[in-house]
Structure 1
Amino acid sequence: MPNRQLPTLTIEKRDSPTVCVAGRWQVHALTRPGVAKDIKTTLSGLPKDASLHWDLSHIAALDHIGAQWLWNTWGRKRPQRLALPQRYEQFFKRLEKTGTLTLPKKTTQPWYAPASLARMMNIFAEHVLSFIGLIGQLALDLGRFAARPQRGPWKEISANIFHIGYQALGITALVGFLIGVVLSYLSAQQLHTFGGDIYLVNILGMSIIRELGPLLAAILVAGRSGSAITAQLGVMRVTEELDAMLVMGMPHGFRLIMPKVIALAISMPLLVVWTDVVALIGGMFAAQAELSLSPTYFLQSLPDAVPLANYWIGIGKGVVFGCLIALVACHFGLRIEPNTESLGQGTTLSVVTAITIVILADAVFAIVFKGVGFY
């Protein structure tokens, strides 16, 4: 006796070949292990004969999934010879009305295909225009803030300085110290080979104060605070807090974006100075251990080795990098859709874009100030 709980297909030799369909053609039965494979094997062995007779009178139960399976087997049309109980007629009548509708095939094109390149350019142009609009709105909000500073979002600015600046002192100090130690050890080995031990102060001072300090602090802040800003705005989008702010007449730019930009513009130069100091301390200790350069000699030689203009260039980089990180994070945070998948993708894209823009801005600084800060 066949199991009436499982869907089965058997071919019988009557007046003409007959396919007997029996069992429970329902989703919970069709998804049992091995059932679908057995049915597909039987279907592949059916003769390609238009006069094939289908007998569905022994089906114990049928749902839309089972009916769709049989409908696809028939080539989306009723066979000429079909024994179908009346109680199942409604399933196939519904499929006859929609059976000609097919889902569009999803075509994947390589990224270098013209259509893919055009789509990527459109998305890029959309991001650029939206980013420019965000900068314009920020300029208007800064003008409003300057006109009436007593009504400005001081609490938001103070809170963001604490979260973005003060709470980042630990990680920037740790990474900066290690970078200073590593750079000092590697440079000392090469300089000692050529007898240029005293020039270690010049290499450490110029590389850390002018380049590595601002860039390292910006990358850490982009990964730490930039992702937090994007995630915060994204969660506010998911929980509809942004819509509630607009209903209450509270603009996003003045209460959310401008405080974060101002806070990062204030915090980043301070973090750059902090990172520079800790990295130089790490390099100083490594220089003493590797080349026996005393800390006193290191501190006395540093002002002469690094012109003052390099300090101002590093601080200026901190201000620019901070504004760029805040704008990029807010840009992607406001574009997040109200679902968790978009939140994760937006946060990841925000961090990657912020780090990329920071490196590009650093390259622009290097080109613009190529003749500044050298003897």
Structure 2
Amino acid sequence: MRAPTASCGSSAGSGARPECRLEGDWTLRALAPRADEFRRLLARAGPAASWKLDGVTRLDSFGATLLWHAWREQWPQDLSADDELRAVIGRIEATAAEPLPEARAFTLTDAIVVLGAGLLGFANHLAAFVQLAGQLCLDIAYLLRHPRDWPLREISANLYKVGARATPVAALVGFLIGVVLSYLSALQLQAFGADIYIVNILGLGIVRELGPVLVSVLVAGRSGSAMTAQLGVMRVTDELDALSAMGISRTVRLVLPKVVALTVAMPLLVLWTSAVALFGGMVSAWVQLDLGFGFFLDTLPRVVPVANLYIGLAKGAVFGLSIALVACHFGLRVRPNTESLSANTTASVVSAITVVILIDAVFAIATRSIGVPG
């Protein structure tokens, strides 16, 4: 790389126009350290000078733009440059000559177009999601007739990744949530002298609602995104196409193990996280309200019917099934480029959390009269 140089001065003779002689590589990499210096030097000369570019060895769009601005967006009358350099500067001239698009107001038609595009996109996602769910049903029906073809190793590996490896972070978050919920509840209950009702609040809140939803959000961000990213990378590296070429079903080998593993692991994670969260609440209640562990454990089964535990476990299974299906759906929609991979991974997490909240609302309405003490 030759360092760029520029010398601008008056030519010999009275009344002669100034002369600018450029040499070296006029590229972004070479000009960056002294770009402001060259910009001021060339601007003082302007298009009236005599420009000698015969010594320029390389010229990129940055250097051509620098010259074009120094010439005040017009060709100088006296320019010595070969055809290749003139072609590069000519492209900058053509780009600068293109008018900017005129801004226009957002009309009702634009709103209808945006709404229609969103509805069509949602319908496309819904159709692909239903197709994926239907294919899984067909695969399960086939595997029930051919038990030897079950992908047990893949299911076991996914069960370990989404279940066993998620227990530490689930326990930590559950314990802290239990402590915070117990602490905030104790502040209000103390004001009314209703300390013992903290068992009711923690039991119903954690076992029935907070435990399943909290675990689902954690799993959607941790395991759901990992599932989408794994399938997306396999799309980018053409591994999915290779499986199809070898006659191996990608839903049986890739999607089904993830769905089965997360559906089985989620109730166990819900049970584990709820137990740790209740323990955190017990510790906080003991510190804040001086309620012993024995009183807490003795009161909990009486104020929280066992039906709430069944509801929480059922929510966990449904949430796990939904998160796995959403994650695999977006993973299979990844196109072979990194931008699509990142966009679909983000959409997978957001969509999974949204679906979990919607399903939880349906559960709340359907089970409003079950497991609630009278």
TM class, shorter-chain normalised?
0.7 to 0.9
Alignment of structure 1 residues 156-305 onto 2, 5 Å: 156-305=154-303
Which residue of structure 1 lines up, in the alignment, with residue 24 of structure 2? 24
Contact 1:9–1:39 (8 Å) recurs in 2 = no
Distance 2:200 2:29 in 1: 77
The residue type equivalent to 1:91 in the other structure is: L
Q: Is the deviation greater in 358-367 or in 66-75? A: 66-75
The residue type equivalent to 1:260 in the other structure is: K
Of 80, 87, 92, 1:84 maps to: 80
Corresponding residue SS for 1:202: helix
Q: Deviations over 1:115-137 (max 9, x none)?
A: 76666555545434433332233
Corresponding residue SS for 1:370: coil
Distance 2:192 2:280 in 1: 23
**Structure 1 203/40 Cα, relative in aligned 2: closer, same or farther at 3 Å?**
same
Corresponding residue SS for 2:78: strand
**What is the Cα deviation at residue 326 of structure 1?**
0.8
Q: Deviations over 1:288-317 (max 9, x none)?
A: 343333333333322221223322211111
**What is the Cα deviation at residue 257 of structure 1?**
0.8
Which residue of structure 2 lines up, in the alignment, with residue 63 of structure 1? 58
**Structure 1 7/129 Cα, relative in aligned 2: closer, same or farther at 3 Å?**
farther
Q: Percent identity?
A: 45
Alignment of structure 1 residues 137-156 onto 2, 5 Å: 137-156=135-154
The residue type equivalent to 1:41 in the other structure is: R
**Structure 1 227/27 Cα, relative in aligned 2: closer, same or farther at 3 Å?**
same
**Structure 1 75/331 Cα, relative in aligned 2: closer, same or farther at 3 Å?**
farther
Contact 2:59–2:88 (8 Å) recurs in 1 = no
**What is the Cα deviation at residue 320 of structure 1?**
1.2
The residue type equivalent to 1:24 in the other structure is: G
Corresponding residue SS for 1:21: strand
Corresponding residue SS for 1:372: coil
The residue type equivalent to 1:143 in the other structure is: A
The residue type equivalent to 2:295 in the other structure is: Y
**Structure 1 10/331 Cα, relative in aligned 2: closer, same or farther at 3 Å?**
farther
Distance 2:285 2:28 in 1: 72
Q: 2:10 aligned with 1:33, yes or no?
A: no
Alignment of structure 1 residues 340-359 onto 2, 5 Å: 340-359=338-357
Distance 2:289 2:88 in 1: 86
Give 5+ residue unaligned stretches, structure 2.
Answer: none
**What is the Cα deviation at residue 268 of structure 1?**
0.6
The residue type equivalent to 2:58 in the other structure is: D
The residue type equivalent to 1:212 in the other structure is: L
**What is the Cα deviation at residue 210 of structure 1?**
0.6
Corresponding residue SS for 2:33: coil
TM-score, scaled to structure 2:
0.81
Which residue of structure 1 lines up, in the alignment, with residue 6 of structure 2? 7
**What is the Cα deviation at residue 20 of structure 1?**
3.0
Distance 2:105 2:360 in 1: 32
